[in-house]
Structure 1
Amino acid sequence: MLQTRRSRPSLFSAAWLSPASIARTIVLLLLLLVGWSTVPAAAWARTETAPTAQQTPAQSIQPYLDRVIQQITEFRLSNGMKFIVLERHQAPVISFLTYADVGGADEPDGKTGVAHFLEHLAFKGTTRIGTVDYKAEAPLLDKLDRLAAQIQTATAQGQKAKLDTLKAEFAKVEAAAAKLVKQNELGRIVEQAGGVGLNANTSTDATRYFYSFPSNKLELWMSLESERFLEPVFREFHKEQDVILEERRLRTDNSPIGQMIEAFSDVAFKVHPYRRPVIGYNQDIQGLTRKDVQAFYDTHYAPNNLSIAIVGDVNPAEVKRLAQLYFGRFKAKPAPPEVVAAEPAQTELREVTLKLETQPWYLEGYHRPALKHPDDVIYDMIASILSEGRTSRLYRSLVEKQQLALNAAGFSGFPGNKFPNLMLFYALTAPGHTVNEVAAALRVEIDRLKTELVSVTELDRVKTQARAGLLRSLDSDMGMAQALLEYDVKTGSWRNLFKQIDEIAAVTPQAVQRIAQATFVPQNRTIGKLLPKA
């Protein structure tokens, strides 16, 4: 995560949480809190215009999808690293996305936040990038680690005099190490070569690194990205530790919504690591060492756990040649350990209530299966029926008609979708009304899906929205890179992305009712109430 992104969470500190600002920014905050597990297609720069679902019936979209499929090439290096290449020659630009199949869910207990910490450090350079003299720098970094451990021990033992001495020495060594650092050298190289959008994000499920280059800089990207993960140096570790702790204060500790999301997740999940925050717990972040990050990197950044999508003005044969030259240097490693914790079926209503300096909020979540489940598209349809925009049932009923809430919406796939997850709904209570009124009104709309078949007209509307969402992802090179990798890693093949049109078309009112009746039951419900202090 680059420094340009660190200013974002400050928008959500307690001082900014007015009713109007919360209503406008809740989705963005939720994305921040869960580590940007999904990136809206509209956020990516567009390079090609696809047909819109409004202009094109479902059957005429397929030829466009077929043309995209024909432009995709995939290959795997002998070390296990996967590449997906999509040729698009409309503009002399290439978008690159490196997808590490590791996120917050893969962290050991007691080491939460290490995946996100590693993402930060991946921008600090290598033995050649980001340093004046690595041979002189390396022993200073090791000495800082030793001093940090001694400071931690002296603090625990209350040895004030020794602590003061150690801190003074630490500051001296840190200053010496800083003189050998070339700040943001990777960023400067990318910018000087015409690159844009250098950034990354960590979610519960994955860590993604991305930016775009002019098409004549393909080999430069191969060189920079391969070296970044071949010989990373986790310099400025302790400074970055302070930055991450500040991020947590802004996102969670000073944010009523942040505190609620963390408490809600911990109640909704009892076993699965989805219960833990991607940014980590304070105590864990403070206790992480450079050795911990290195061990996590060595385990999870194996070439067979990395996938790369390259979309734009490229020649697949040249991509493969350069990939073998640069990324073929990575040594094969054993497969990283998989997440084996399985969340047991919820058997009773769960509830969490917080009283803070805030406007009243209501949250309600229901367990649902992972992305690769055959009913995934139906869950997404239900989320759209209830909460997709101002034509959705929740908005029309709770906000416009009854005026119980200033905002009411939700989404499927919280806090990730690689594993079984939640369908989450939320509402900001309107002045003069209570969260209990909002809860009752929301339940009425949910129960309607169980007792009344959705009309063909309404279902067609959300099918149109779903097709439009898929087409918007195809409309962006970076959005396409993201979508291809998400589906390839989480479902076993990128081709499943393009099967969505048929899956959307096949959804019936009876299928919606079947899933609603199985999902929206009291024993599968988790409630969160965020109440103002009396």
Structure 2
Amino acid sequence: MKIRKILFGLMFVLFWVQNGLHAEPAKEFYLENGMKVVVKEDHRAPVAVHMVWYRAGSMDETNGTTGVAHVLEHMMFKGTPKYPEGSLSKTVAKLGGKDNAFTNTDYTAYFQQIPRDSLEKVMEMEADRMSNLQFKEKDFQKEIRVVMEERRWRTDDQPEGRVDEALRAAAFVAHPYHWPVIGWMNDLQNMTVDDARNWYEKWYAPNNATMVVVGDVDARNVRKMAEKYFGKIRPKKIASAKPQVEPVQRGVKRVAVSAPAENPLVVLAYKVPALRDVEKDEDVYALDVLATVLDGYDNARLSASLVRQEQMAVSVGADYSALSRGPALFVLEGTPTRGISVEELEKRLKREISEIAKNGISPQELERVKMQLISSQIYKRDSMFGQAMEIGVFEMNGIGQKQIDRIIEKLKAVTPEQVQQVARKYFSDDSLTVATLVPVALPDKAVE
């Protein structure tokens, strides 16, 4: 999840407040078993979004069972003794809603978008699979094959997917961000149903989960339903995670991936801070602004200079994900035009940062970036699902949804000088990992 998209997306709330349109704050409480519940009332339409987030992702896995968090996500749809396989999804579909799930490095989440009057039913079914999931060998064998095929489709058969996987494996040595969320293929091939069951028993507990409800609901009624269905589930002893600190990098790392592709690609990843302390981590906000100056709107610096003016690249981009439980990367990437090497494009991407480090950005550019981001995110934040996602991400990464307003203030206070300072501070080769895609002949093309 990109913090600059989340945080700047939230900035439009401040715009509303300044114009007299006050949004009701979310309400939060804990059940006796330790489960946290956050409710955001939004009465514009008779619908609700119900999400259950578990603070367990691929970073909590160990060598030999990588990918198990995602495999368990698949198993969560195989049913319980009370509600057989497919019951939840079929129920949601009959109600005219939709449901799904997703696994991340830091968390796993399950959601339903349903009419408001159906909230209690999906809450009952979600609570049931939190504690009564069944693990049948035949179901596991089916799903592990699905996951392996998903890995082939998303990574093994996708040049960009291979590059991203190689980049992270090179950038992180000790931290579990080293391995992919979907897992290494060999681990998937040797995984057992007991591995999935053990993961479920270890992490899937009310005291390791947060429920988020956004929509045309009453927070008091949501609390009653949460207590009725989730409150009776016993908590588990959740082991404290051991520190997994990435060693200090002392020099540029390089990795090349050969794969069938039409165009080469170069990706530069710099180690930068993640958000830990809302008050103290000032550089995080300036890095967000820097990423947006580079690639936050149609005429941002990278595309304006490298694609339109100099025609050195077919496409370029910048990304910064600071809302994470683990270390963060600031990524620059580009596909060079014919006749331009990846080495030349790498130097030009670096120079774009160097120019900001040397000359900074203007106050006018900074304000234009902020206002464009505010206006572009109004529609997104108008979505109930978008609100639920933002709340969940902030909760899972330890910041908490109550800090959103303060983060908006911090972003609004970023100065051109701060952007220039972070451009000078973090972009040296000592913290850099470079991954390049080396195209080989496509299978369906004759080799001359």
Q: How far did 1:185 drift? A: 2.6
CA distance in 2, matches of 1:367, 1:220: 45
Q: How far did 1:418 drift? A: 2.2
Q: How far did 1:66 drift? A: 4.7
Cα distance 1:59–1:223, how it changes in 2: closer, same or farther (>3 A)?
Answer: closer
CA distance in 2, matches of 1:526, 1:315: 49
Name which of structure 1's ranges 459-468 and 508-517 shifts more when overlaid on structure 2.
459-468
Cα distance 1:499–1:249, how it changes in 2: closer, same or farther (>3 A)?
Answer: same
Gaps of 5+ in 1: 1-36, 43-49, 131-181
Q: Secondary structure at the match of 1:367?
A: strand
2:106 to 187, 201, 205: 205
Residue 412 (structure 2) pairs with residue 412 (structure 1) = no
Residue 397 (structure 2) pairs with residue 528 (structure 1) = no
Name which of structure 1's ranges 249-258 and 113-122 shifts more when overlaid on structure 2.
249-258
| Percent identical | 34
Q: Which residue does 2:23 correspond to in 1?
A: 67
Q: Which residue does 2:81 correspond to in 1?
A: 127
- TM-score, normalized by length of structure 1? 0.77
Residue 275 (structure 2) pairs with residue 371 (structure 1) = yes
1:389 to 297, 312, 331: 297
Cα distance 1:38–1:113, how it changes in 2: closer, same or farther (>3 A)?
Answer: farther
Map residues 287-366 of structure 1 onto 2, 5 A cutoff.
287-338=190-241, 340-358=243-261, 359-366=263-270
CA contact (8 A) 2:3 2:288 kept: no
Match of 1:199, as an amino acid? N
Gaps of 5+ in 2: 442-448
Q: How far did 1:467 drift? A: 3.3
Q: How far did 1:127 drift? A: 1.3
Q: Which residue does 1:22 correspond to in 2?
A: none
CA contact (8 A) 1:369 1:419 kept: no
Cα RMSD (Å) of the superposition?
2.3
Q: Which residue does 1:176 correspond to in 2?
A: none
State which structure, 1 or 2, has the greater radius of gyration over its C-alpha atoms. 1
Match of 1:194, as an amino acid? G
Q: Which residue does 1:219 correspond to in 2?
A: 120
CA contact (8 A) 2:131 2:205 kept: no
CA distance in 2, matches of 1:302, 1:66: 36
Cα distance 1:129–1:388, how it changes in 2: closer, same or farther (>3 A)?
Answer: same
Map residues 273-288 of structure 1 onto 2, 5 A cutoff.
273-288=176-191
Q: Secondary structure at the match of 1:128?
A: coil
Cα distance 1:40–1:293, how it changes in 2: closer, same or farther (>3 A)?
Answer: farther
Cα distance 1:371–1:464, how it changes in 2: closer, same or farther (>3 A)?
Answer: same
Q: How far did 1:41 drift? A: 8.2
CA distance in 2, matches of 1:39, 1:378: 12
- TM-score, normalized by length of structure 2? 0.91
Q: How far did 1:458 drift? A: 0.9
Kindly provide the CA deviation profile for residues 292-341 of structure 1, in whole angstroms up to 9, marking residues without a partner as x: 11111111112111001100111111111111110012101112432521
CA distance in 1, matches of 2:3, 2:360: 32
CA contact (8 A) 1:488 1:495 kept: no
Name which of structure 1's ranges 350-359 and 468-477 shifts more when overlaid on structure 2.
468-477
Q: Secondary structure at the match of 2:48?
A: strand
Match of 1:400, as an amino acid? R
Residue 62 (structure 2) pairs with residue 76 (structure 1) = no
Q: Secondary structure at the match of 2:38?
A: strand
CA distance in 1, matches of 2:3, 2:291: 17
Q: How far did 1:244 drift? A: 0.7
Q: Secondary structure at the match of 1:329?
A: coil
Match of 2:81, as an amino acid? T
Q: How far did 1:257 drift? A: 1.2
CA contact (8 A) 1:361 1:435 kept: yes
CA distance in 2, matches of 1:308, 1:475: 20
Q: Which residue does 1:478 correspond to in 2?
A: 385
CA distance in 1, matches of 2:435, 2:264: 11
Match of 1:119, as an amino acid? E
Name which of structure 1's ranges 507-516 and 469-478 shifts more when overlaid on structure 2.
469-478
Cα distance 1:471–1:287, how it changes in 2: closer, same or farther (>3 A)?
Answer: same
Q: Which residue does 2:348 correspond to in 1?
A: 441
Q: Secondary structure at the match of 2:374?
A: helix
Residue 96 (structure 2) pairs with residue 194 (structure 1) = yes
2:52 to 76, 98, 105: 98
Residue 421 (structure 2) pairs with residue 510 (structure 1) = no
Give 1 or 2: higher helix fraction.
1
